[in-house]
Amino acid sequence: MELAEKAVQSGTVYCLGDLAHNERLLTELSRQGVIFVEDLSEVPDNATILIRSHGVSPEILEKAARKNLAVIDATCAFVRNLQVLVARLVDEGKQVIILGDRHHPEIIGVMGWGRQKPDVLADPSQLAVLGNLDPDKPVALVAQTTQDQSLLDDFGEKLAAQVPVVERYNTICKATALRQENVRSLARIVDVMVVVGGKNSANTKKLADVCKAAGVRIIAVTEAAGLDMSQLQDVRTVGVTAGTSTPHWTIKEVIAKMENEKVNEEIQDEQVTEESQQEQVSVEEITMNQAVREFSVGDVVKGIVVQISEDEVLVDIGYKSEGVLPRQEMILAADQELSSVIRLGQEVEVAVIAADEQEGKIILSRKTIERKQKWAELEHAFENGTVMSGRVKEVVQAGMVVDLGGGYEGFMPGSLVDVTFVPDFNVFLDEKVFFKVIEIRREKEKLILSRKQVLEEEAAVLKDRILNALKPGQVIRGTVKRLTNFGAFVDVGGIDGLVHISEMSWSRIDNPGEVLSVGEEIDVKVIDVIPEKDRIGLSLRQAQPDPWIRIARQFKPGDVAEGKVTRIVDFGVFVELAPGVEGLVHISQLASHHVKQASEIVQQGQLVKVKILDINTDAKRVSLSMREAAPRPKKEHVKEVQQPQDTGTGLTFGDVFGNLFALKKDKENE
């Protein structure tokens, strides 16, 4: 229903079949703009279609896709599990039997998920017609999600006696099963069960069947107007249950009608009694009582506070003397003063607990009134989700006991104290805490409280406010909450954003712990906000100066610098010139000779001299050379050696001229 109401705000919504078996609910949705259809042929192309909780077959979804329909899938999670389970069991070659109503929309949809249509039986008596079961194949038994648990158990036992292998799958909705069990217990202690729900509601019918099996008379109604109060004459105790599709307001109206009828009967009885009493009162007595009212124990009256002392309050209730309201007849803390809770001239409601006409003294009490008022306040808070407050008066191992006022206490289990684990609840002792009443048991005056729910709702509101306020490009302050191998989660005011490891530093890092630590406050830049996914993308490095802006001022082509080898790849090595700035030394620029592998020349982490060949700050690319950065070795002087020449006589010129050429060469060198 919430999905339908939300979707219809954006335009017309078509619903395939009745959303629920409840006429008032359907009428209300129709008034809001939901159109109910029985077939997709009634839905125009490109429209929005809502799949109800009963689910549909794959063929329906394929047809919706061909019509380009926007599908809102409200299929119940238990029905979805049943669909997937039946499809898997059929694919595994098992003989599938479904306990349910073959004409129910849920079962019609489920049957479409099996390539071979499963057998659908309504009760164990139909097992006799199953003559086509293969004894060599296992039988898988599943149930419609609204089936009676006891019927499924009976069905399984009888099926097991008929075939050798039976696999039973409990596919009954847990909420349905729990409701049936509760109704079964309730039906044993009441005179009549009133079952509220649509006439076509399968789970409502099952609840009625459970009541009948328990031997109690049932009255089935769809709403309060259909309840005939004459059927409840002379009935002492009435039990009430309702199908899952019955709106909560309908249940309340049925209960209210019975309660109002009871009140009206009591009022009529009182009026008859008063009339008979008045007939017995003489005219003289009426005249006397016009001046002074008479009071009896149990009367509840209103009066005006005329005096406040340390131990009691005097209240003018129209008697010949003021009524006395003792301190002990009010619900107060041990050190609380009367003047802090009551004031002169205040109108108060009190009950008469003692009346001495001879002494003209009336004793009053506020305890019963305050408890009644407080209980009504607690019930209202429970029904409407109102946030309340109280003082923690006691800490126990399992949680905390909270003083709610009016003489009532509530218990807050440890798991509902906070959104995170609390090792010691004593930190809350005597402290005021805010909470919601999440469970109330009137017969035992037991209340279960949750502070966690209040904190979660506050966090959700804060999260929405932050998500709507954040814009990409903003630089904000945050606190590192936790580190992972892929980044860090940063609290930016009540909601966590992710700084991916690639956005942590301009330099290459392998572990977020190299840059950040838990609890550290940092400035981050918002780079992505997706409210519908509660996702915030943050960048630490973009909140810092871009090192590529400085690099153009720090270096220029032709400069020789020192850097650290950060990576070795097939085509060369990357050298870090400054934090966040790496340049590439191509393999051809590693040495003056041919290099097959860069690791032959350098190792990762080694400091090397490089010459800057080119800087492209727009592309964030620097070309480097180790070959040109290394000084070229000086050419060594090679002394020429003159080969002796043969004169043809067997003698060389050296033999003939001796040291003549050597002396000449030495002279030239000088």
- Active site positions, annotated: 106
Q: Distance of alpha carbon 242 from its chain centroid, rounded?
A: 27
Residues 379 and 413 sit within 8 Å (Cβ to Cβ): no
Burial class from Cβ neighbours inside 10 Å (0-12, 13-18, 19+) for residue 81 reads middle
d(C-alpha 417, C-alpha 431), whole Å: 13
d(C-alpha 498, C-alpha 540), whole Å: 10
* Cα–Cα distances in angstroms (integers) from residue 74 to residues 39, 80, 258, 605, in the given order: 17, 10, 35, 58
d(C-alpha 399, C-alpha 417), whole Å: 8
Q: Which of 242, 239, 236, 201 is nearest to 223 (CA)?
A: 242
Residues 190 and 240 sit within 8 Å (Cβ to Cβ): no
d(C-alpha 17, C-alpha 104), whole Å: 11
3-state secondary structure of 278: helix
Residues 47 and 271 sit within 8 Å (Cβ to Cβ): no
Residues 487 and 536 sit within 8 Å (Cβ to Cβ): no
Task: Give the contacts of 206 (CB within 8 A, at least 6 positions apart).
Answer: 146, 147, 148, 176, 180
d(C-alpha 363, C-alpha 352), whole Å: 6
Q: Which of 135, 134, 133, 154 is nearest to 143 (CA)?
A: 154
Within a 10 A sphere around the Cβ of 604, how many other Cβ atoms? 12
Q: Distance of alpha carbon 193 from its chain centroid, rounded?
A: 36
DSSP string, 56-119: --HHHHHHHHHTT-EEEE---HHHHHHHHHHHHHHHTT-EEEEES-TTSHHHHHHHTTSSSPPE
Strand arrangement of the beta sheet that strand 238-242 belongs to: 217-221, 192-196, 238-242
Q: What are phi and psi of 444, to 5 degrees?
A: -110, 5
Task: List the beta bridge partners of residue 166.
Answer: 139
Task: Give the contacts of 547 (CB within 8 A, at least 6 positions apart).
Answer: 506, 578, 579, 580, 581
Residues 613 and 625 sit within 8 Å (Cβ to Cβ): yes
Cα three-residue angle 81-84-86, rounded to 5 degrees? 105
Q: Distance of alpha carbon 179 from its chain centroid, rounded?
A: 24
d(C-alpha 249, C-alpha 224), whole Å: 10
